[in-house]
Amino acid sequence: MDKENNEKDEKTENGVTVMKKNGALKSFNSLEEALADYAANMTTWQRVSSWIRSRIIGRVRHVGYWLRCHLWDRYHLVDCGYENPTGYRWGWNDVDTLMLYAAFELLRRFIENEDGLEELRYQHMAARETPDEWFSGAKDPAGEKQASIDERLHAYNEIKDLWQWWTKDRTLRHASIASDSGWNTDELYDQDTEMLCRLARVRGYLWT
C-alpha cells in the first residue's frame, strides 16, 4: 500500500497539475499528457479561435514583421558604410576589407543601438554584488563564480578598447600614413587583423 502511495506521490510531484474551470485540480504525468487532455476537451469556439490565432493573426503578424524588417529596422542587413570612420560609404571593396568593416559596424550597432556597454557594466556589477542570486543554483567548488565575474569585466574592457581603437586610434593611424610618418601597409593590415581577432574572442558577450 505504501509502495503504491509512494509511486502515486512521485508521479504527481514530477508531473503537471492543472486547475480546471470549476476550480478542481487535475494531475498529469507529463506536460504532453496535460496538453492532450486540454485538446480533447476544447469547445468548438476554442478550436475556431485557436485556428484563427494560429493561421490568420499569426500570418498577419508575420507580414507586419517582414515589412518592419525590410522597410525600417533591416536587422538582417549590415551597412559597411554607415558612419564608417575610415570614410568609406559605398562602392567596391575586397571581401577582406568588407569583413573588417562589417564586424566593426556590428560592434557599433551593439554599443550605440543596443547600449551594450552599459548592459555589460550592469551585468558585471550585479554578478559581483549578488553572486548567489546571479549564479542561482550553481556550484562553486573552485571559484567559478569569481572567474565568470572576472571574464565579464575583461570583456567589458576589451570591447571598450576595441571601440576606442576603431573610432579614434585607427583614424589617427591612417592620418599618420598620409603624412609619411613611418607606418607601412603591412603593419596596418596586421593590426587590423589583430583587432578583428580580438573582437571575435569577445563575440560571446555581444548580446543584450
Does residue 13 share a domain with residue 54?
A: no
Q: How far apart are CA 203 and CA 208, in angstroms?
A: 12
Contacts with 74 (C-beta within 8 Å, 6 or more apart), sequence order = none
Does residue 190 share a domain with residue 168?
A: yes
Q: How far apart are CA 158 and CA 139, in angstroms?
A: 28
- The pLDDT tens digits of the residues spanning 176-188 come to 766 665 556 788 8
Does residue 132 share a domain with residue 117?
A: yes
Q: Is residue 150 part of a domain?
A: yes
Q: Is residue 58 part of a domain?
A: yes
Q: How far apart are CA 111 and CA 74, in angstroms?
A: 17
Rg (CA), the chain: 27
pLDDT higher for 115 or 173? 115
Q: Is residue 108 part of a domain?
A: yes
- The pLDDT tens digits of the residues spanning 17-30 come to 655 555 566 677 77
Paired residues of 81 in beta bridges: none
Does residue 108 share a domain with residue 49?
A: no
Q: Is residue 82 part of a domain?
A: no
Does residue 183 share a domain with residue 103?
A: yes
Number of domains, the chain: 3
- Write the DSSP assignment of 49-64 as a string of letters: HHHIIIIIIHHHHHHH
Q: Is residue 88 part of a domain?
A: no
pTM > 0.85: no
**Do the Cβ atoms of 36 and 30 come closer than 8 Å?**
no
pLDDT higher for 107 or 151? 107
Strand boundaries in the chain, DSSP class E: 16-19, 25-28
Domain around 56: 44-75
Does residue 198 share a domain with residue 151?
A: yes
Does residue 146 share a domain with residue 126?
A: yes
